[in-house]
Structure 1
Amino acid sequence: MMSRLWIRTALVLLLGAMLAACSSGGETRGRMTTAKAGALPAPDTTAASGAYEGATDYRIGAQDLLEISIFGVQELNKEVRVNSNGQVSLPLIGGMMAGGKTIPEFEAELAKKYSEGFLQNPQVSVFVKEFTSQRITLEGAVAKPGIYPITGRTSLLQAIALAGGVDDKLADLGGIVLMRKVAGKRQAAVYDLREVRRGNIEDPQLYGDDIIVVEQSGSKTAFRRFIESMPILGVFRWF
C-alpha cells in the first residue's frame, strides 16, 4: 500500500516538472534538447540488467545472483545469492560483504581473503548472473501496476508482460511514457506500443529505476497533456 502511494507521489512530482517545461515560454524550450529515436542514453547509474559484462561501475545489490570462480580451483567455484544484508557465504572464508561493492572491488577483496592462508595468488572472477536488485516501476493501464525486479536484459514489451499486459479496455497504446534520469535530469519518451510490436520503432532496453506509465484512452490527465506535447513517436526531450 505504501509503495503504491510512494509511486503516485513521485509521479505527481515528475509531472509538475514535465508540464512546467512543456508549458514554458521560448526561453525554457530553448534549453531543452532532443535525441534521435532509439538513442535514449543509459541512466546515471548504468543500472541495466544484462549490460554489465566487463562493466566496472555496477554495485552489487541484495538478491543478486553471483557466479564466483577461482582459476584452477574448481572446488571453490560457486553460485551464491546475496542476502538481504548484502552478504554471501563462501567456502573456506565464510561470510563476506558483497552489497554496495563494484565487481572489481569484490574480486580484489575475495582474492585478498583467499590468499590469507589458503591460496597463493588466487585469480578470482565474479559475474553477476541475475540482477534482481534492479527494479522498474509500471503504472497506469496495466493489469498489475507495481515495482518489478528485472533479472536479465529486459525490453519495454517484456516489462509490460511482467505487469500482466495492458488493460485492453482502458489502455491508450499510443500513450506509453518511459522516464529515466540521465546526467542529473529526467528524460522522457512517448511510445506507440502498436508500432513497437510491428517492429517499426525500437523496443527499448530498460534500466533499473526506469518508470513506465501506460496512459488511459480518452483521459484528461497531466500525462495526456505531456503526451500531446511530444512532437513525434520516439523523440526524447529533457525536462
Structure 2
Amino acid sequence: MKLQAAVLLLCAVLLLLGLPVLADEPYQIGSGDVLTITVYGHEDLKTKARVSESGQIEFPLIGAVQVGGLKPSAAAKKVETLLADGYLVKPQVQIYVEEFKSLKVIVLGPVKNPGLVELSGPATLLEVISKAGGLLLKDVGTSATVTRAGADGRQEILNVDIKKLIENGGGADNLRLLGGETVSVAAAKAEDAPVAYVTGEVNRPGMYPCAHGATVLKMVSLAGGFTGIAAKSRVRINRSADGKKQVLKGVDLDTPVLPDDVVEVPESFF
C-alpha cells in the first residue's frame, strides 16, 4: 500500500509539472493519443507520435505500427519485436502517453453541462462530474449508474450512492474512470419512477424511464438509437425475476421491457 501511494504521488507531481506519465496498465491506447517512444541506448530513435484514427503510429525503421487498443506495455513489446527483426539487437522500448485525447466520458442527468467530457488522463467519478459543471443539487436523486466495458469485454453497470459520494468525497463510490464510460445521474423527480438500462451499441447508453408499455424499440430510441455497428437481430434482455436471473436472447424490437431490465445491444460481427 505504501508503494502504491508513492507511485500515485509521483504521477500527481509529474502531471502538475507537465511531464509525461507512464499510463496505468488498465489504459488502452486510442486514436488521438500522443505517445513518446524511447529506445534505450538509441537517442536518435526517440519519437513523439500521434495515434491515427485507424490506431497506427509511424516509427523510424519499421514504419506503421498498429497500437490502438493495446496497453502501453504491450505496444512497447510490439515495437521491440519489430525492431529486433533485423534492425536492433535486444531493443528495450518504453512508451509514455503524453496526451490522452481518446479519453471521453458521457455524463447524463442533472449536471450543469451534460454531454461528452474529454479527460486529460484517467479520472475519478467526482472529477468527471466536476468537469461536467457539477451536480444540480436540487434536481439530483439518490443514485447514479456507470456503464462501462467489464474485464471480459461485456458491458457492466455499476450503481453509485450519490449521497455517500458527496459526503465521503471518495471511497468505493468514487470510481476510477478510464474513458468510454457513460455516467447517468438520476433525477430527483424521477427517483420513484421505474427505469430500465440500455447498454452496448446505442448512441447514449444509460438508464431511462420504463413506463407501462415500454418495448425494446422505445428504450433504444430513448438511448439515441442504434449505432452503425449494432447487431439488431441479436438484442438480448437481462432480467431478474423472483430472485432468478434470465437472459432473453434474440428478442424482437416490440418485445416488452420491464422495470430494472438491462437491454443489451451487441456489436455486429461484420
Letter in 2 for 1:127: Y
CA shift, 1:69, in A, is 0.9
Match in the other structure for 1:147: 116
- Aligned pairs, how many? 175
1:179 matched to 2:150? The reply is no
SS in 2 for 1:119: coil
Q: What is the TM-score when the length of structure 2 is the normalising length?
A: 0.52
Equivalent residues of 1:51, 1:153 under 8 A apart: no
Equivalent residues of 1:175, 1:214 under 8 A apart: yes
1:209-229 CA distance string (max 9 Å, x none): 3221122222354349x9xxx
Q: How has the CA–CA distance of structure 1 residues 51 and 167 changed in structure 2, closer, same or farther, with 3 Å as cutoff? A: farther
Which stretches in structure 2 are left out of the alignment for 5+ residues? 1-20, 197-206, 208-260, 263-270
Q: How has the CA–CA distance of structure 1 residues 156 and 105 changed in structure 2, closer, same or farther, with 3 Å as cutoff? A: closer
Match in the other structure for 1:24: none
More strand by share: 2
Equivalent residues of 2:143, 2:159 under 8 A apart: no
Match in the other structure for 2:89: 120
Equivalent residues of 1:67, 1:80 under 8 A apart: yes
Letter in 2 for 1:215: A
1:94-141 CA distance string (max 9 Å, x none): 433322444454324322443456433321122334443243221111
SS in 1 for 2:128: helix
Q: What is the TM-score when the length of structure 1 is the normalising length?
A: 0.58
CA shift, 1:181, in A, is 4.7
Pairing 1:191-202 to 2, within 5 Å after superposition: 191-193=161-163, 195-199=164-168, 202=171
Letter in 1 for 2:144: I
Query: Aligned to 1:88, which of 31, 38, 57?
Result: 57
Equivalent residues of 2:28, 2:72 under 8 A apart: yes
Pairing 1:41-52 to 2, within 5 Å after superposition: none
1:176-212 CA distance string (max 9 Å, x none): 333345454633313225x433326522222433221
Match in the other structure for 1:208: 179
Equivalent residues of 1:215, 1:223 under 8 A apart: no
Match in the other structure for 2:194: 222
**Could you tell me how far apart the structure 2 residues matched to 1:71 and 1:93 are?**
17
SS in 2 for 1:158: helix
Query: Aligned to 1:190, which of 160, 178, 195?
Result: 160
Equivalent residues of 2:106, 2:117 under 8 A apart: yes
Query: Aligned to 1:73, which of 31, 34, 42?
Result: 42
Letter in 2 for 1:110: V
* Percent pairwise identity: 25
Equivalent residues of 1:132, 1:151 under 8 A apart: yes
Equivalent residues of 2:57, 2:64 under 8 A apart: yes
- The 10-residue stretch of structure 1 (151-160 or 92-101) with the greater mean CA deviation from structure 2: 92-101
Letter in 2 for 1:177: T
Q: Which has the higher contact order (CA 8 A, sep 6+)?
A: 1
1:57-93 CA distance string (max 9 Å, x none): 7543211222211001223223322121212123344
Cα RMSD of the aligned pairs, angstroms, is: 3.5
